[in-house]
Amino acid sequence: MTARTGTEVKCYHCGETCREEHRVHEEKDFCCQGCQVVYDLLQESGLCEYYRLEDRPGTRHKAAAEEARPELFDLPEVRDRLVEYSEDGITRVRLHIPQMHCSSCIWLLENLHKLQPAIIRSRVRFTDKELTVTFREAQLGLRGLVELLRRVGYGPLLTGRSGEQRKGPGIPRTLYIKLGVAGFCFGNIMLFSFPEYLGADTADGTLLKGFQFLNFVFSLPVVFVSSTDFFRSAWAGLRGRRINIDQPIALGIIALFLRSTLDAVTGAGPGYFDSLAGLIFFLLIGRWYQAYTYSALSFDRTLNDFLPLAVLRRKGDKEEPASVGDLRPGDRIVIRDQELVPVDAILRSGIGNIDNSFITGEPLPVKRNVGDTVRAGGRQRGAAIELEVLRAFQDSHLKRLWEEHTGDHERPLMPRTIDAVARRFTVAVLLIATGAGLYWWGHDARQVWPVVTAVLIVACPCALALAMPFAYGHTIRLLGRRGLFLRDAEVVERMAFINAVVFDKTGTLTAREAYDMAFVGVPLTAQERMLVRSVARNSTHPLSAVLYNGIKAPLKDAVFVEEEAGEGIGGMVDGVTVRIGSVRFCSGAPVEREPGVAQVHVSIGGVHRGRFDVRKRARSGMAESVAGIGAKARTYLLTGDATVDGDVAAAFTPGAMRTGCTPPEKARFVRELQADGTRVMMVGDGLNDAGALQQSDIGVTVSESSAALSPASDAILDARSLADLPAMLHLARRARRIVFASLAISLMYNVTGVSFAVSGHLTPLVAAILMPLSSVSVVGFVTLAIWWAARDLGLASRT
């Protein structure tokens, strides 16, 4: 029901006091027509869960007055700035929404499709206050989208950097200004306080009163300029009925300022202007340090935007794998069936059937002809195409698109626990400060304000907030250097709980290169070898790659190419139908297979012509990797092959191997493991096991010479780093323990600091100095501990 405070009635939607426009609707109070309209809109769309996720989620924010007028979004220059993708009636825009402030905001903004069917998908990046929306422009339009957002209270601004490529995070310039003001005033107040420090006894008290007056004057910009962020954050929390860490700090500042002013006016003493200025100065240093460290960590993540993906780059008549980070404008690349286009490019050869679901959520392929632009994130369906690179990889949005496909995993326990502790922490601090104040009021009233202020300042949950992002952030950085790139920090914690690892075989545990290849059947003519190689070129499957690289023959374009997951690929070259794959796919007669040999059957013109026997070798370090993981977790092998033998078979127990698995059966096997509470990591090549990758708790795509990234992947592993996978899992477990250790350090600091503050042995100024030192100590401990753990596991150096 609507909250009532005394005679005041609070709005059910925004929490504002209902005044002249007070209206009652469905037994709920609203302060204005706008709030009632938003409520009705949410109710009609079945989105009233919005009100259950957070108390007063519609709390208004000052930024709403700066919302851009909807008609501005009709201007071409504004549209060009915001639109990231617009093709075939589907548009994707990135908007700056500063009003979002809680879980209800995120939930509502990511469910806009329930309010407007023309919206395909909407995703929030909360730390940047950004909203990315994909919608059908013929049904809605950019202006219509903006008007919808304004109706629900989230009108976008044009002052942010929406739609622009970020050059890296920075520290706000205003923070430096406020820090400079506080430092200047603090120094002068200290200077004018020297007579008091030295106990100077002047015959005329006018000089001391003059110094006290100057101290008061210099304290004004400190309180009303340098400390505004603390008051603004505290007030926003009060209006939203939320408790935050800035509220006790704001109380401490007010208490010190009022007490010091009262002492100076009444002549009771010089006050605490030096402590007040020093307090704010050192608090701002703490804010600067936190902003700087987060900025450095975020910048370090941007260096890892080069995902360990590879693509075929054409040089003359040769095609060679190249890292997507090495691509430059003008390079020619070959994109095969099921591969992602990693950069914006122009189609130069072949017919593009581009599936843009990675960008838009719409799975229907769109035809592209020679000369058309193909956006990064599109997936080719069909015959291989040749593209000319338009922009380098760092200028594409592929990584951001991948991050948006976060799946439906429950948020890990650690961040949920830290959030709960931080919320209760401030309540406990306020209660302790109140108790300490009452105690000293009865024993020594002069100690009340210094003690209360010291308690409010020294007790800081900042270390709680810093521990997990820094521990997991450094872990991501170190793993990225060794070839394992994680989608986000929460994947680290899920890795720590993994107790079963499921491996795909072909292309994951076995190398893509053939150890030996021989054709069994009537020898193929040169023309037939050309047909087979031309079709094999269009597939990213490891066995197709073996045929493409092993057959010496010219190439021709294939058309009507279709690939059936787990079975094979077919197409037409020079009017002849060619199929390569399993015996069933090629309509051949089953034959017994030699141990350690994979069979790729060939059908030309509807006639089964024989098969290629391919002997594969295990990847270097495969046995050590499986054995290392097996020491801490169960290991399983899933393969579409009829049998498993050789080094791969020796690495698993007989009961842990499943043969003849189709892609749906792989996903079903993972689901069965999870039924009893097992946390599963699936390691595959992203081709025939996308379902299993999505079903698992952690999906890892092994990348070698293809860009077949699955949106379901939580991580991408460089194939050369397979041997390091056990150590990487161990580092994730250690990182979690390090977070707990840093939380213990933070708890010890707070208990010790509060104890000294309550006893009256800690001044507010010293408390303000200790506050940022707690953050420095936690960040230093986490950084060194993670680095030492990685070094101990052999992961500290670059590959």
> Span 62-151: which CATH code?
3.30.70.100
**pLDDT band for position 354 (50/70/90)?**
confident
pLDDT in the model for residue 727:
94
> Looking at residues 661-682, what average pLDDT do you find?
90
pLDDT digit string, tens, across residues 552-564? 888 888 888 888 8
For residue 627, what are the contacts with CB-CB under 8 A and spacing of at least 6?
A: 651
pLDDT in the model for residue 1:
44
The more confidently predicted of residues 165 and 650 is 650
The more confidently predicted of residues 289 and 226 is 226
pLDDT above 80: residue 667: yes
- Regarding the domain delimited by 513-618, which CATH topology (the fold level of the hierarchy) does it fall under? Calcium-transporting ATPase, cytoplasmic domain N (3.40.1110)
Instruction: Using CA atoms of 726, 731, 734, 740 in order, give the dihedral in degrees to the nearest 10.
Output: -140
Q: Reduced to 3 states, what is the DSSP secondary structure of residue 666?
A: helix
**Range scoring the smallest mean pLDDT among 59-68, 511-520, 716-725:** 59-68
pLDDT digit string, tens, across residues 14-42? 666 776 667 777 777 777 655 666 677 66
Domain boundaries, the chain: 4-61, 62-151, 173-293+416-471+734-792, 308-341+344-390, 472-511+619-733, 513-618
Q: What is the mean pLDDT of the chain?
A: 78
Q: What superfamily does domain 472-511+619-733 belong to in CATH?
A: HAD superfamily/HAD-like (3.40.50.1000)
pLDDT above 90: residue 137: no
- Can you give 171-238 as a three-state secondary structure string? CCHHHHHHHHHHHHHHHHHHHHCHHHHCCCCCCCCHHHHHHHHHHHHHHHHHHHHHCHHHHHHHHHHH
pLDDT in the model for residue 304:
42
> Looking at residues 706-728, what average pLDDT do you find?
78
The more confidently predicted of residues 101 and 166 is 101
> Looking at residues 484-511, what average pLDDT do you find?
85
pLDDT digit string, tens, across residues 412-447? 455 555 656 666 777 787 788 889 888 888 888 778
Of 284, 245, 371, 352, the closest CA to residue 772 belongs to 284
**pLDDT band for position 511 (50/70/90)?**
confident
**Range scoring the smallest mean pLDDT among 224-238, 284-298, 304-318, 376-390:** 284-298
Instruction: Write down the residue that tokens 């009636």 correspond to.
Output: 89
Please give the backbone phi and psi of residue 787, each rounded to the nearest 5 degrees, phi first.
Answer: -60, -40
**Domain at 308-341+344-390: CATH architecture:** Distorted Sandwich (2.70)
Is there a contact between 111 and 104 (Cβ–Cβ < 8 Å)?
A: no
pLDDT above 50: residue 567: yes
Q: Which of 357-361, 376-380, 542-546, 678-682: highest mean pLDDT?
A: 678-682
pLDDT in the model for residue 402:
60
Percent over 90 (pLDDT), the chain: 14
The more confidently predicted of residues 421 and 201 is 421
Is there a contact between 401 and 132 (Cβ–Cβ < 8 Å)?
A: no
**pLDDT band for position 4 (50/70/90)?**
very low
pLDDT above 70: residue 169: no
Is there a contact between 648 and 618 (Cβ–Cβ < 8 Å)?
A: yes
The more confidently predicted of residues 90 and 771 is 90
The more confidently predicted of residues 175 and 279 is 175
pLDDT digit string, tens, across residues 42-72? 666 565 555 554 555 445 444 444 455 667 7
pLDDT in the model for residue 200:
58
Percent over 70 (pLDDT), the chain: 75
pLDDT in the model for residue 605:
92
pLDDT in the model for residue 202:
53
